[in-house]
Amino acid sequence: MTTIPENKFNDLLENAVTKLVQEKLELLLNEEIKNFMSVEQPERRNNRNGHYTRTYQTRYGSISDLRVPRDRKGLFQTRLFQPYRRREDWLEETIIQMYKGGMSTRDVARFIESMFGSHYSPTTVSNITQTVMEDIEQWQNRPLEKRYSVIYLDGLCIKLKRNTVHNESVYLVMGIDEKGIRQILGFYVGGNESSNGWREVLKDLQKRGATDVLLGVFDGLPGLEEAFNEIYPKADVQHCVIHKVRATFPKIRVADKTDFLDDLKQVYTAIDGDVARALFDEFKDKWRKQYPKEVKSWEDQLHTLLTFFKYPALTRPAIYTTNPIERTNKELRKRLKPMNSLTNIEAAEKIIYLQAIDYNEKWYGRAIRGFVDPDTKAAFEDLYNKRYVKTADSNL
């Protein structure tokens, strides 16, 4: 018995599948023109006029001689594909997904050419992905929910080319609405991260409808707390505890690290705010002589580092840190890393938008654990009423 080599077998199988697809397409085309002649255009004196051949790329392989029927008057047009289209829409979708995955337009062009034998210039690939830009504009201006229990803010540094290559920031905003659903609310590309930049971002969120916010979670960027309080004066601020721990860690001697950080952990994992503050007093008495600046830094910021204790216990793991938005930024870095530098701001926006859409689709309708508990929902409703509803009523 003769054994067929695996690569030859795969080629034979691919050719057989492509041939079958061609036969089925041609069958559909013939049925389509038959219906056109007898049902759609019965009153016209028209007849079939043979066929013409064309190439057509499918997800199952490239058909080089697809037989497309035609009529004498040139009125028939198949609904299987648009005039002059040489490929299915799936190829454009594939190109967009590869681009989102971090491949450059040049790499995508090479891949398509190697797979299908068709030459795609980087410009052509860029034009295909350009169709996303209209979606981006619409998405960036979409209305937001009125109420957000939590808003996370975090910046991402990317290399962007504007004549020369420089580091610029992506301002990313994530929110948990009153139903407990976490979504990316927006992103803003350009410039260096600053409190003024965040102020403009927050103004945009408010303009798009996000007026009632209970808590903002972010790191200790100078001026950011003031900018947030300016736009959302009734909201609380939670500085990221994990960021603070990371910033403190390098300043502690190796011999003291374990004890120091264990004592600190007792503070932010306490059962409630009162216990946390009592434990911090013990921590301060123990370590302030050896590490006065580090302890003083924690003491000065303690009121915003322990804000999460004011909120229902089941939600605290989700709100004492910016980890949820940092994980998203980590994924974005992975997507952007192969590109070294982005050719323009639109290239950055396309990749970030596609990633944001994926994230929002993944979490759509899935409430964060702890936020759907009836007692938690009642507590948040009470907070909304005290901060916004009663204030609004008093202004009537």
Question: Is 292 inside any structural domain?
Answer: no
pLDDT of residue 294: 95
pLDDT of residue 210: 97
CATH of the domain at 327: 3.30.420.10
72, 106, 130 - which closes a domain: 130
Q: For the full predicted model, state whether its pTM sits above 0.85.
A: no
How far apart are alpha carbons 186 and 2 in whole angstroms?
A: 61
User: Cβ distance 178 to 151 under 8 Å?
Assistant: no
User: Cβ distance 184 to 198 under 8 Å?
Assistant: no
Question: Is 191 inside any structural domain?
Answer: yes
How far apart are alpha carbons 375 and 188 in whole angstroms?
A: 36
CB under 8 A, 24+ apart: contacts of 31-35? 32/78, 32/79, 32/80, 33/69, 33/70, 33/71, 33/76, 33/78
How far apart are alpha carbons 34 and 74 in whole angstroms?
A: 14
- Answer positive or negative: Cα dihedral of 158, 160, 164, 168: negative
10 Å Cβ neighbour count for 330?
A: 11
| Non-local CB neighbours of 322 within 8 Å, separated by 6+ positions | 152, 153, 154, 217, 218, 219, 240, 242, 243
Domain count, the chain: 3
pLDDT of residue 334: 79
CA distances from 394 to 62, 107, 229, 322 (A): 70, 61, 21, 35
Domain identity same for 119 and 221: no
pLDDT of residue 95: 62
Domain identity same for 334 and 383: yes
Question: Is 368 inside any structural domain?
Answer: yes
User: Cβ distance 298 to 248 under 8 Å?
Assistant: yes
Q: Which residues of 273-298 are buried (b: 16+ CB within 10 A; e: fewer)?
A: eeebeebbeebbeebeeebeebbebb
Question: Is 165 inside any structural domain?
Answer: yes
Surface-to-core class of residue 253, CB atoms within 10 Å of its CB (0-12 exposed, 13-18 middle, 19+ buried): exposed
- Answer positive or negative: Cα dihedral of 108, 111, 116, 118: positive
75, 98, 130 - which closes a domain: 130
Domain identity same for 39 and 102: no
Domain identity same for 152 and 230: yes
pLDDT of residue 258: 95
Nearest Cα neighbor of 314 from 383, 377, 268 is 377
10 Å Cβ neighbour count for 369?
A: 12
DSSP E strands in the chain: the ranges are: 48-58, 61-71, 147-162, 164-177, 182-189, 212-218, 236-239
Question: Is 21 inside any structural domain?
Answer: yes
Angle formed at CA 179 by CA 178 and CA 182, multiple of 5 degrees: 90
Domain identity same for 226 and 181: yes
Alpha helices by DSSP H, listed for 208-364, are 224-231, 241-248, 254-268, 273-287, 292-305, 316-319, 323-336, 345-363
Domain identity same for 341 and 382: yes
Question: Is 75 inside any structural domain?
Answer: yes
Domain identity same for 327 and 235: yes
Beta bridge partners of 150: 176, 215
Domain identity same for 34 and 79: yes
Beta strand 147-162 pairing with 164-177: antiparallel
Domain identity same for 36 and 25: yes
Domain identity same for 92 and 110: yes
Question: Is 315 inside any structural domain?
Answer: no
pLDDT in tens, the chain (396 residues): 555 565 565 556 556 767 777 777 787 778 778 877 777 666 667 788 888 787 776 655 667 788 888 887 777 777 666 554 444 455 556 666 665 555 556 666 666 666 555 555 656 555 555 666 777 888 899 999 999 999 999 998 888 777 787 888 899 999 999 999 999 999 998 888 999 999 999 999 999 999 999 999 999 899 999 999 999 999 999 999 999 999 999 999 999 999 999 999 999 999 999 999 999 999 999 999 999 999 999 999 999 999 999 999 999 999 999 999 999 888 888 777 666 556 667 777 888 888 888 888 888 888 898 999 999 999 999 999 999 986 555 555
Domain with 190 in it: 145-240+322-387
Domain identity same for 342 and 208: yes
pLDDT of residue 348: 79
pLDDT of residue 88: 47
pLDDT of residue 45: 72
User: Cβ distance 357 to 100 under 8 Å?
Assistant: no
Question: Is 73 inside any structural domain?
Answer: yes
Domain identity same for 24 and 95: no
130, 159, 190 - which closes a domain: 130
Q: What is the DSSP letter of 308?
A: G
